[in-house]
Structure formats: C-alpha cells, structure tokens
Structure 1
Amino acid sequence: MLTAFDFENRNFRLTTGDVVGDENKYTVIVGKNGTGKSRILKAIVEHFVDPDTLERRRSDELRLRTSPYLRLAYDYQPSNVIAISTSPFDRFPLPESRRLLIEHLGSGDAVYPSYEYLGLRGLFSRNLGLSFMSRTITSLIKSVYENSQHAKQICQVLNYLRYDGSIEARFQLDPSISTLRRILTEEDPIPALHDYLASRREVFRLNPLRNRDRTADVDDLIYALRRFVNALGRPRIDIKIDRFGAHSLNQVDLQIDNDFVLLLELGLLRLRGVSLRKLDTPDRIHLNEASSGEQSVVLGFLGIAGHIQDGSLICIDEPEICLHPEWQERYIQLLISTFRRFKRCHFVIATHSPQIVARLEEDNCFVLNIETAHIADAKVLIKRSSDFQLATTFGAPGYKNEYLSRELITLITHFSKVGELDDEQAGLARTLLKLRSVLDDADPVASLMKMLDEILVEQTK
C-alpha cells in the first residue's frame, strides 16, 4: 500500500492512517488542470516498473529507476501494476513493443512487478474505439491463458455488470492464409513478414521483428506461424472467453495459447467485433454498438479483472471521460463492489468528477487535494451534493452555488437574530470566504460573501 510521496519539493500523504486491515484502499486525487495529477500517476507507475520494458521517446534519454521529482513511501511493493485511461492525453508510460518476443519466450524470474497498460496511446488506427477494444480483448486472452483463475474473475465481473459471463470475439486473419503461407516459404521469412507489416503501416508492431539477437527467438516465431497456419481452416476465427478459459468456436484444431497471443500482438489477427449477452435478454449485443460510456466501463473493468490479484496497484486517470453523471456515480460504486474480494490492493484515481467523490465509501477511501496537499477521509465528503463537492473538494463552486448560498444565508440570518457567531460558525465563515476570489462579481453568492465578511469584521471589533 502506498502511504506518502514527495513531489516537486512538496510532501503528500495518500491515506490519513485510518486504514481498515487488508481491505482495498482508494485514494482519489483532485486538483485543477496542470497541477500534476497525471504526472504523479506516471511517476508512481515508473517507480515500480522495469525501465527496460518501457518505451522511450528519445534515444538518448537516461533510463532512470524512478522519476527524479518523486520519492515514494509504501508498506509493501505491489504484486503488479495496472494503468487505465480512456484519454488520448494520459501520461502513463507505454510498454515497449520490442518486449513481445521476450515475453513470448519467457525471461526468467521477474525482479519488478508486471505492468499492464490499458489505454488509447500507442494505438495507430482510424478507429480508436475498436483498437482499444482489441487491446483489451488481447490482454484478456493472454491473461486467461497465463492464469486460468482470471477466467473466473472475468466471468464474475461480467455477472456483476449484468452480463451472462461470457465474451465472444471475432477475428479476421490479415494477411490471408495464402499470403502467410507464401511468406513462410521464403528462405528467411522474418524480413518478408516485416516488409508486409511495414506496407500495411503497422509501425508500432515492427520492433519485435528487428529484435533478432537470438536465433531461438526467430525459430520460435516461425514455428508459431506455421503451427497457426496449419490449424486454420478459414480466415475467420471466433473466440469465446468464459469461466473455463478461452477457446475457438469455429476452428476445432486451433489452440488459444501463447503463440496465438503473440500473433494477435503482431497484428496478424484483426478484431472485427465483440458481443455480450445481458442477463435479462436472449440476444447477444455488439459491444461496439453500445454507448461510449458503457464501452468504457465494461472494457475498463474487464481489463482490471484480467490482471488484478491481491496486492495490485491500479492507477486510473480520469475515469469520468465519456460517462454521464449518473454513470460516474455508478462507476465508483461498481469499482469498489466488483473487486472487493481482493485484498491489499490500492486504487489511485485522478478525477474532476464530484459524483465519484460523493459515492466513495466510508472506510479506506481518501481524497487528496493536490493543490493544498490536504488529505481527507472520504467519510466527511461522501453523500453530499455536487454543489458541495464543487465548492469544498474542487474549489470551483461555479455560478449560484446552492450549497454556498444556503450556508451563507444561514450564517447571516443567525447573526441578524443573535448578534454574533459562535466559534464553529466563525470557522465555517472563514472557510467559505476563502472561495470569494473564485466567484464572478455578478454572482449573487459574491454579494452574500461580502455581507458575511462585513459581519466577521464587525464581530472582531
């Protein structure tokens, strides 16, 4: 569990210390744009992940173990790290594409926690939605193959989201079977495959084919391709993921294993669609036809389900993107409930959503204001209105904030009747007046602020 960090010469705590046993922890980070929320998430991820597995944008950039501006304190190292975002502007580090062959062959005992990035960056496609879906489904198939227990987790998450517990995905072989066979008959198939992918502008998948330091790497890749082609009877492949694992619905000789995952990651199989079935309907629905919000929630939760384990660190950047306010409330409730059975996980969430803050739970939930470095137990903030959250949590009350109006009128009315404010009321008044500078001069609430300020001046005479 993360406990605190130093960021750009400032100290921040991620919990108040009021922590309940081994239950999961949720730290929500709030603050204005540009205050560093995304940079903090990036730095936290980089602290734990092997720098040699991350993509570097500049060849001369030093590969540092941690970000130079962050020092992190924690009770224990996470078992793995998961980063999730549906924003094309997140700052999470990208896994380096050349690791594909290394992972395919296995690289010995891991010194660092494994890292899974589930986001939009690194997807070179005209259809980002379908590409993100493909990245998530590929991740699920890989996860189910590596750990059969994940299949049950995925099924449970689908049930919790009111689906029947299975996913069906349709892939299309690209190139054609004949083209792939032609490539494999070349004296050296790897350059031919590289040239084919380059002609299709699959730039982000080319690096693995250039990593030819070991002959065994190339031999294993060619073996996987040949085994795959020999098992195929047709270019269309229908895959089902359920509690028993991942298997083909229409290719009886096709094994869903590490070789299959490698070919998915190399771009030789293109996702054409994903379907699910609601528990209360007989027909399957195509996920790409669902609302952007439903796609975001389903794919995000499935991505977590495919990799979460006890002790995971899950970093989520702006989950409210694409979500209606009602779905924002449901999102955090579903997130907490869906993964409650896991222990010692820490979810760190950067958000601008008052609905997410309002629907946190009382225990093991904390809200960190990155601008003030104030950490609060969620129990003092939850189940309050959006106007309350905007004013007190986000410091952006907006026009005619009803929470501020109500509190200001109550204080002014009390003073007019009694002639003074007690210490608690005076403290509240001073807290409310801190927001005066962010109000529009034409806002009626600003006039109430002026009246309250005059009352405090009069009372201190």
Structure 2
Amino acid sequence: MLEIFRAATKDFQAEITFVPNPKFQNHIWTTVLIGKNGSRKSFILRQILETAFGKTHFIYNKKEKIETQGVGWESPHHPQKIICISGTPLDRFPRSGYTPRTSSKRKTNRNFLYLGQRASNGMVGTAQSERSLITTLIENVEYLHLKKRLFEIAFKHLELSPKIKITLKPSKLVADAFSTVERVPIHNRYIANDSIEDLSKKLINNFKDLLEKEKPNAQIFKSMDKLAKLEHHGIFHLMSIFRDPKEASYLLFENAIIHKHGPNPEGWDTDVWILFLRAGFLDIDYTVFYRRGDSNETDTSSQPYEPSDILGEHLSSGQWSWLAGFVGLCAEIADDSLILIDEPENSLHPIWQQNYVPTLQAITSEFPGTQTIIATHSPLIASGINPENGNVLALKSILDRETNRTWLTATPVESTFGWAASDVYQEAFGVASDRAPSFTATADRALSLIRKNEPLSAVDASLITDDLTTKLESLPLHDPLRNVLKSIITQLQELTKARS
C-alpha cells in the first residue's frame, strides 16, 4: 500500500503521506484529496499511476522529466490490479487498457483498467461508458458469479435490478462484408465468400495475438477449440442469423451470470457467442436495464424491450458514470488493488454523492490491501470518510517566486466524518459561506455600516432594509439566517433614528 508519495520535476516538488501508519498496510484505506482548481490533484493521480506501473524516472507529456518514489510499494508490494475511474472527460489517465478492442499495435496491460467517459480515440459520451461496462463484464465472465452480492450493491442506489440485456449485431467489418455478398451477382458470389473467409481468419488471428499478451484461462482455450471446429469459424452461420432475424440475439446478464438468448445453432453455447463478441465478429447493438422489482422472471421475450424497461441510451450521464464505475469495479477488483478516482461527483445527484463513499467501501471491504485515492470538490464525498479507514488531505500549491519552483503541500484535514455539508465547505474547503454571494452581499454591506456605527439616511436605510426583508421572506422558516437578518434590520433602523 502506498504510504508516502514523492514527485519532483525541474520546477515542482511534492511529498504526500497517504497512510499515516504502516500498520494499515493490509487493511482497506481510502484517501480523499481536496484543493482548489490548479492544486494539481489530477496530475498527482497520474504520477501515482505511473509509479504503480514500476516507473521512477520518466517523461510526462513528452517534455517534463519526473522522478517519483512510492514508499510502501517496494517489491513485492506493488498493486496487483490498478483501476482508474473518472467522472470527467478531462482526466489525465491513459485510456488504453487491455480489452481486445484495443489495437494490437498498442501496449496492453492486463492489470490496468480505465473506466471513464473518453475512449482511446478521444471520443466522449455515454456510448463509451456503455462499451466499457459491457466489455468489462464480458472479459470477466468466468468470475462474475463470485461477486453477485457486489453487483447488487452497485445497482441498488439507482433503483435498478442487477440485470442487463445486451443485444448483438455484426461488427462494422463483418456487416460490411455481409453487405458486399448481398450486392454481388450469384454467379460471382464465391469471390465474395472467399473475402468473408479471409476476414474470419484475420479476426481469429488478431484475437490470438492479443491473447498472447494476457494470461488466458482454460475457458478461453476451450471456446477457441469450439470455434475452430466450426466451418470458417461460423461466420456464414452468423450471416444467416442476422440477414433476416426472426428474433433478437442477445446476452442476458442476470444473477451475476451471462446467458445467450435467441437463435443458437447446434453446438453454440454462451461461451462461443462471447468469443464472437470478444474477437470482433459481433458488437453491442443496444442495452436494456430493468427497474428494481420488474425483473422477477427471466426475460425470453422476442420483443426488443418492454415499455417498463429502460434503454441504455435513455440513462443519464450520471447513471452511466455510476454504473460504468461501480459495476466495472465489481467485475475487476481483487486483493491488493489500487483504485484512482478523479472527480466522481460530476453529473451525480447530491444523494448519490452522499452514497458514493459508502458504496465504494462496501465493495472494497472484501479485498484486503485495497487502497483508494479520490480527487474531488464534493463535501458530500469528503465527509463520508471514516477516520478508522481513511483520511482527507488538502492540497495546496505554493510558488516560490525567487526560485520559480512550486511546492505541493498536503495537509491532513480534521475528520469531517458525519459533518453537515455547510460545515465541510467552511472547515475543509475554505468556503466562508455556502450561500450565493449575491444573496449575502446586502447583509455584508449592512454589517459593515453597523460596525462603523455611522448614522444612515432614511433613504439608504429603506433601500437596504427592503432588500433584506425580501430575502428574509424567501428563506425556509427553520433557517437561522432569518433571525440574523431580523437583527440586522433592527440595528439599521436604530442607526436611522440616531441620524434623525
């Protein structure tokens, strides 16, 4: 577990103590980083990630030479799994993980996973979250049943059942090949068929190349053997299934198990269909989610979806952020994981922000040695950290103008566990008031006049008291500021009388 992190460049230096006591090494620990924009929270997360990969000297952004040290990560204590979760498309995490859809020319790392809004090609949107979520489930299909309880935790706060319908379609390459065959005259169709056979071989060979960079389990080899026994890897059977589909072909994630539904030629089990998806023969068409309590029976309907169901494209960005982050985490987490999270509060309702840390810790609590580091601006997230298994650190960048060198300090914040959000804003985030500045501007001006004890004209006093009275009446009856404003109005009236 990372106890102390140090980073230095030509004009920057930081030292952060994450775990105050080495006795927590095999426990579950969560650190929340807070600080103003520009305090380099995201930058620190990225440098921690690089150090977790085993790097101590590297060039960042093709220009900045960086030296780092992770105390507590001395061999053999490096994280066994690194998971980066992002609520913002502007995070600094690398996008490429280990999924088969990653180009075979890219470096892959089986122990790294990015769960965020931006794809490796730079595209941003909920479609990326959808693809990330489904791919993560598919990649871990053989282990999902071991984490059934965790999936229930992840779906609960969205009032959704832990069940997803994943409809399938030919991938773009395969669909284009099928279209070509349809356009070719029958007497020349053998030429087009040859091209489809070549495509099938190419997809399989590319997938085999990717497997060489992983440590595939026996189930994958078993599925590959099944696919090898199919004529031309079954690609012509796929063409007949999707040419004029009588019913939808889909995978159903339910009870932490994935099953295939729809047309299924003899000998094709769920593993074969998953392999088609992983190898690039198939792609995700759309997803369907189920409201909690609406999915007691297994869905075998031939209809695309029912009115009570929720299409994945109709989920909000906040719902997708929650699902892609937490469901992906459930599928991937292992003992001794490092979880780096950047601005998870984006698009999340305040109630979900309140539930973020409890949900996170309910998932991580079963995996000893797991460490989570969160960069956030949300007091609702910061106040969820129990000091028994985490801490809050305030980052501050200080520029030494003589040396033009920036020093990053990390000051432990007094435990805000259970505090009201307004108190966390003031004590931890340094926000003097959580009310709108325009709302308190008149009261601030009135207090300044009262402190100076200068008499007021009747016109000035009337303008100020009228404004304060209007704002007072807009406040809830239980708001203590009502009494404060009443007191200010009374004192202003006394100043006016003194002038007269």
Is the shorter-chain TM-score for this pair beyond 0.5, marking a shared fold? yes
Q: Distance in 1 between matches of 2:328 and 2:137?
A: 7
What is the 5 A alignment of 1:273-352?
273-279=287-293, 283-352=308-377
1:119 is matched with which residue: 105, 116, 121?
116
1:400–1:296: structure 2 CA closer, same or farther, 3 Å change rule? closer
Q: Distance in 2 between matches of 1:145 and 1:225?
A: 26
Indicate if the aligned counterparts of 1:79 and 1:113 stay in contact, CA closer than 8 A.
no
Indicate if the aligned counterparts of 2:2 and 2:70 stay in contact, CA closer than 8 A.
yes
Q: Distance in 2 between matches of 1:392 and 1:79?
A: 36
Indicate if the aligned counterparts of 1:310 and 1:344 stay in contact, CA closer than 8 A.
yes
Partner of 1:95: 96
| 1:356-399 deviation line (CA, Å, top 9, x unaligned) | 01122231111111216344376x21222223222222223356
1:245 is matched with which residue: 234, 239, 257?
257
| 1:212-257 deviation line (CA, Å, top 9, x unaligned) | 9x9xxxxx89969942525535235311123463221114344444
Indicate if the aligned counterparts of 1:151 and 1:242 stay in contact, CA closer than 8 A.
no
What is the 5 A alignment of 1:19-168?
22-49=26-53, 68-75=66-73, 76-95=77-96, 114-122=111-119, 128-145=125-142, 149-150=146-147, 153-154=150-151, 157-158=154-155, 162-168=159-165
Over aligned residue pairs, what C-alpha RMSD do you find? Answer: 4.5
1:18–1:6: structure 2 CA closer, same or farther, 3 Å change rule? closer
Indicate if the aligned counterparts of 1:30 and 1:368 stay in contact, CA closer than 8 A.
yes
1:92–1:262: structure 2 CA closer, same or farther, 3 Å change rule? farther
Partner of 2:170: 173
Secondary structure in structure 1 of the residue aligned to 2:327:
helix
Q: Distance in 1 between matches of 2:27 and 2:328?
A: 21
1:357 is matched with which residue: 378, 382, 405?
382
Q: Distance in 2 between matches of 1:393 and 1:267?
A: 52
**Alpha-carbon deviation of 1:25?**
0.7
Indicate if the aligned counterparts of 2:116 and 2:324 stay in contact, CA closer than 8 A.
no
Q: Distance in 2 between matches of 1:91 and 1:136?
A: 20
| 1:187-230 deviation line (CA, Å, top 9, x unaligned) | 99359989xxxxxxxxxxxxx69x89x9xxxxx89969942525
Indicate if the aligned counterparts of 2:96 and 2:102 stay in contact, CA closer than 8 A.
no
Task: Flag structure 1 segments of 5+ consecutive residues without an equivalent.
Answer: 195-207, 215-219, 403-443, 445-461
Q: Distance in 2 between matches of 1:98 and 1:331?
A: 27
1:20–1:74: structure 2 CA closer, same or farther, 3 Å change rule? closer
1:121–1:287: structure 2 CA closer, same or farther, 3 Å change rule? closer
Secondary structure in structure 2 of the residue aligned to 1:373:
strand
AA in 1 matched with 2:93 = F
1:270–1:241: structure 2 CA closer, same or farther, 3 Å change rule? closer
Q: TM-score of the superposition, structure 2-length normalised?
A: 0.62
**Alpha-carbon deviation of 1:32?**
1.4
1:160–1:24: structure 2 CA closer, same or farther, 3 Å change rule? farther
AA in 1 matched with 2:422 = D
1:265–1:387: structure 2 CA closer, same or farther, 3 Å change rule? farther
| 1:143-199 deviation line (CA, Å, top 9, x unaligned) | 1146653566435644676543322211222343724877762299359989xxxxx
1:382–1:147: structure 2 CA closer, same or farther, 3 Å change rule? closer
What is the 5 A alignment of 1:220-239?
226-230=232-236, 232=238, 234-235=241-242, 236-239=248-251
| 1:412-448 deviation line (CA, Å, top 9, x unaligned) | xxxxxxxxxxxxxxxxxxxxxxxxxxxxxxxx9xxxx
Q: Distance in 2 between matches of 1:261 and 1:187?
A: 18
Secondary structure in structure 2 of the residue aligned to 1:23:
coil
Point out the more displaced range, 14-23 or 175-184.
175-184
AA in 2 matched with 1:73 = V
2:17 is matched with which residue: 13, 17, 40?
13
Partner of 2:474: none
Secondary structure in structure 1 of the residue aligned to 2:382:
helix
Q: Distance in 1 between matches of 2:94 and 2:387?
A: 32
1:118–1:244: structure 2 CA closer, same or farther, 3 Å change rule? closer
Count of residues in correspondence between the two structures:
372
Partner of 1:406: none
Task: Flag structure 2 segments of 5+ consecutive residues without an equivalent.
Answer: 182-190, 213-223, 243-247, 297-307, 397-407, 438-483, 485-500
Indicate if the aligned counterparts of 1:4 and 1:13 stay in contact, CA closer than 8 A.
yes
Point out the more displaced range, 262-271 or 284-293.
262-271
Aligned identity (percent) is 22
1:271–1:326: structure 2 CA closer, same or farther, 3 Å change rule? same
1:387–1:2: structure 2 CA closer, same or farther, 3 Å change rule? same
Q: Distance in 2 between matches of 1:225 and 1:358?
A: 59
Indicate if the aligned counterparts of 1:19 and 1:364 stay in contact, CA closer than 8 A.
no
| 1:316-369 deviation line (CA, Å, top 9, x unaligned) | 110000012222111122212233222211111110101101122231111111
Are 1:373 and 2:404 counterparts? no
Indicate if the aligned counterparts of 1:275 and 1:287 stay in contact, CA closer than 8 A.
yes
| 1:110-165 deviation line (CA, Å, top 9, x unaligned) | 9x771011112225597721232112111111111466535664356446765433
AA in 2 matched with 1:300 = G
1:32–1:94: structure 2 CA closer, same or farther, 3 Å change rule? same
**Alpha-carbon deviation of 1:18?**
8.1
Secondary structure in structure 1 of the residue aligned to 2:388:
coil
Secondary structure in structure 2 of the residue aligned to 1:321:
coil
1:83–1:321: structure 2 CA closer, same or farther, 3 Å change rule? same
